[in-house]
Amino acid sequence: MSPLPELPTDDRPWVYLASQSPRRRQLLEQWGVTCVPLLPDPDEDAEALEVHQPGESPAAYVRRVTRLKVRAAEARRRRRGWPDGVVLCADTTVADGATILGKPADAAEATRMLQRLAGRRHQVLTAVAVARAGRTWLALSRTQVTFKPLGDDEIAAYVASGEPFGKAGAYGIQGHAGLWVRRLCGSYTGVVGLPAYETAELLRRAGLALR
């Protein structure tokens, strides 16, 4: 059994964060929420939850994956014998029409994704789910992002920086790629990986009001 985590002893709001994303942790901490990591056990196949099903739309995909993640995280908390609390999960995907652009496997795939997005509009979808005491709440954020045209050298330099890896659509808007965004309609924090408005609303419904 995993050792009990150190939980806040004052009245600060806190959540079990079932995500390895440093960006999500940073956003929550900026909003005054303490994060207690609730990461998968070594024998859990977390990547299997993100497999895309044939014919599945990007919105249906990101909702389903996030729901599966929060269920797995809540089961993990119970299995470890950790105290009840709010469990938070999120998943972000980039979509070009009906095509899902996930995390690139290598430099060649990252290059192809960025070439596809250059000079065009795409959609970023982030689903957020929170669970507590047997109940689950889920919300979806949709944001339209338009990139400026990109030259091959610019894409090659970005891929060589390593920033595209581990990120849906092969870019992180909080990094250098933010300089490419000509227009954004929706939630900036949703593109980063955790939409502020939707997250605050879900936490409130789960009984955790942000100050």
Question: How far is Cα 94 from Cα 96, in angstroms, rounded to an integer?
Answer: 7
Token pair 């593109």: residue: 191
Active-site annotation holds for 10: no
Please tell me which residue in 11, 41, 84, 91 is annotated as part of the active site: 91
Quote the strand ranges of the chain, DSSP E.
14-17, 34-37, 87-96, 99-101, 121-132, 135-147, 181-185
In the numeric block, the tokens 């045209």 are attached to 149
Q: Are strands 99-101 and 34-37 parallel, antiparallel or unpaired?
A: unpaired
Q: How far apart are CA 53 and CA 57, in angstroms?
A: 9
Q: Which residues participate in catalysis according to the annotation? A: 91
